[in-house]
Structure 1
Amino acid sequence: MSGPDTGREAGPDTGAAGHTGTPAGGICAVVLAAGEGTRLRPLTERVPKALCPVGNVPLLDRALARLGGLGLTGPETVAVNASYLGEQVVERVGTRAHLSVEPDGPLGTAGGLGRLRDWIGGRGVLVGNADAYLADPAAPPGPDIAALLRDWDGDSVRLLGRPAPDPTAPGTFDGHVFTGFSLLPWRLVRDLPPVFGDLVRAVWRPAEADGRLTVVPYPGIFVDTGTPADYLAANLHAAGDGSLVDPSATVTGDCHRSVVGAGATVAGEVTRSVVWPGATVDTGERLYEVIRAATGLTVPAT
């Protein structure tokens, strides 16, 4: 059992990364779940983005399941960082992963790893963004990102990516858009300070300039759920061609290609919308391309 890490804890330094196969210290995984989700407000005013449900499954749970599909489970192997509304993340994770709580605000993607440096302790790190929705219809959770680990030299940086509409646009890597997961060697993680910083500037671009960054093509669906429009798109994809209704929801109205969460009540009409767990759609209401929260908050997706 591993409780929240509110500071630094000592961890074994199992050595630098090797140059063939996996690194000498093995592989661990970190799910980044500390962000404030400002672009998704007001949905994230009371719920951290990592716990927003997609297809009736919190995004954080989707990320942990994906890592589980690779055999990466438990607090010795998987860590989750938390900050904004962090108590909710801590409660949700429980004993499924090591917890690193950032009490003074999110440290960013690089600072979050820097704070986990002792826990990482010489291992290569598979880093995933909790808000990344990935869906590869050809594979169950996990193998869609297994290509990041396959034949890794333990020394280079790998990013999962899809071809960009404009290969020369800022923010692309070798003509690809980053799709939520990266693989980093210990040699680049061990010197990251536990202060605010991002992996793009601290690790990815320097590795790219050094010729040691590789983009691994991702063939599936990727949605960055950062905005209401993208969040809705991810939910509609999860719902498929119909509606996805939790068995504990009560639907006496009409539901068209929507997602309805646990304990929700739909007496009106919902179309291409998301009804969060415990939310209510009253008789006579018609929702179209919106997200309805349990508090009664309704957020348009356009």
Structure 2
Amino acid sequence: MTTPGPAGNTGSPEICAVVLAAGEGTRLRPLTERVPKALCPIGNIPLLDRALARLAGLGLTGPDRVAVNACYLGEQVVAHVGDRAHLSVEPGDPLGTAGGVANLRTWIAGRGVLVGNADAYLADPAAAPGEDVAALLAGWDGETVRLLGQPADDPDAPGTFDGHRFTGFSLLPWRLVRELPVEPGDLVRTVWRPAEAAGALTVVPYRGTFYDTGTPAAYLTANLHAAGGANLIDPGATVTGRCREAVVGAGATVRGEVTRSVIWPGAEVAAGERLTGVIRAGAGLTVLAEG
């Protein structure tokens, strides 16, 4: 099937996109006990919105071209996405990355699939066009598996592919997607490793900044990167205290001192409080992320 692809690339295989947002985010607890990881904000923008905006930049928008899966605290994901994408709500426990894609097989309907993890934070270098997610799509033949990756510190470490660590996005051909069973499973074992063994997997280098945001430390680091070494304060926040390298969300109130920390929308920092290297969520929840 060849039709106009993303950004009007006539003649390339037809592509749709799936954003995986069903996981429980166990490593980010207790932040994810009340909010799904996909909706945790980085630089005051929910991770899921960052993923959808990135796809929109590739010409992939709307429920005909983009799907989002949901399970854990799925009602929040469904309400947040609205009509911006096709929604696939998995009953019971999450189906995993492979099962989640398989569950969308009828919607995918013969197309190649750009699969992105909602919890991946990527910041593209302005001086390196063609070395971002768009590079996954360039010249794709519709048959091979492509992964976006960065050189690993240990190229032989488990979980690496051709000496690279995975950075959140992969491109899958329909011929493999149609064979996936709708049962719990991950893409590493069911698609990527078999394709690698068959010589049908290519790693596309990504030279931007990447964090998987799976732990409080990585989540904080990604937020500080989004802030660019300065304060990033939503116009709807009230700040009468002192902030240094802080990310403060809409409706938050800061009367104390905040350093290298994230204050979620609606959260409060009382006068006399001094927070350093933490995430302050609503209802007074504070998670130490550095130090």
TM, length-normalised to structure 2: 0.95
The unaligned stretches of length 5 or more in structure 1 are 1-13
Hey, what does 1:6 align to over in structure 2?
none
* Paired positions, count: 283
Does the aligned pair in 2 maintain the 1:69–1:143 contact within 8 Å? no
Counterparts of 1:100-249 in structure 2, within 5 Å, are 100-138=88-126, 144-249=132-237
The unaligned stretches of length 5 or more in structure 2 are 3-9
Say if 2:34 is the partner of 1:22: no
Distance 1:56 1:236 in 2: 11
Structure 1 residues 134 and 153, CA gap change in structure 2 (3 angstroms): same
SS at match of 1:73: coil
Structure 1 residues 141 and 71, CA gap change in structure 2 (3 angstroms): farther
Distance 1:296 1:89 in 2: 23
Question: 1:294 offset after TM fit, Å?
Answer: 1.3
Hey, what does 1:38 align to over in structure 2?
26
Q: CA RMSD in A?
A: 1.7
Distance 2:127 2:168 in 1: 17
Hey, what does 1:10 align to over in structure 2?
none
Distance 2:33 2:130 in 1: 31
Q: Which gives a bigger RCO, structure 1 or 2 (Cα 8 Å, sep 6+)?
A: 1
Hey, what does 2:269 align to over in structure 1?
281
Runs of 4+ in 1 over 3 A off after TM superposition: 139-143
Hey, what does 1:48 align to over in structure 2?
36
Question: 1:110 offset after TM fit, Å?
Answer: 0.2
SS at match of 1:188: helix
Does the aligned pair in 2 maintain the 1:160–1:181 contact within 8 Å? yes
Structure 1 residues 142 and 217, CA gap change in structure 2 (3 angstroms): closer
Hey, what does 2:75 align to over in structure 1?
87
Distance 1:141 1:74 in 2: 25
- For 2:266, the aligned partner's letter is G
SS at match of 2:75: helix
Question: 1:300 offset after TM fit, Å?
Answer: 0.2
Distance 2:262 2:187 in 1: 32
- For 2:239, the aligned partner's letter is V
Hey, what does 1:11 align to over in structure 2?
none
Question: 1:137 offset after TM fit, Å?
Answer: 3.1
- For 1:94, the aligned partner's letter is G
SS at match of 2:284: coil
Does the aligned pair in 1 maintain the 2:231–2:244 contact within 8 Å? yes
Distance 2:50 2:42 in 1: 9
Per-residue displacement from partner, 1:184-223 (whole Å, max 9, x unpaired)? 0000000111110000000000000000000000010000
Does the aligned pair in 1 maintain the 2:148–2:169 contact within 8 Å? yes
Does the aligned pair in 1 maintain the 2:131–2:206 contact within 8 Å? no
- Residue identity over aligned pairs, in percent, reads 78
Say if 2:65 is the partner of 1:65: no
Does the aligned pair in 2 maintain the 1:21–1:153 contact within 8 Å? no
Does the aligned pair in 2 maintain the 1:69–1:142 contact within 8 Å? no
Per-residue displacement from partner, 1:104-145 (whole Å, max 9, x unpaired)? 110000000110000000000000000000001317999821
Distance 1:183 1:139 in 2: 24
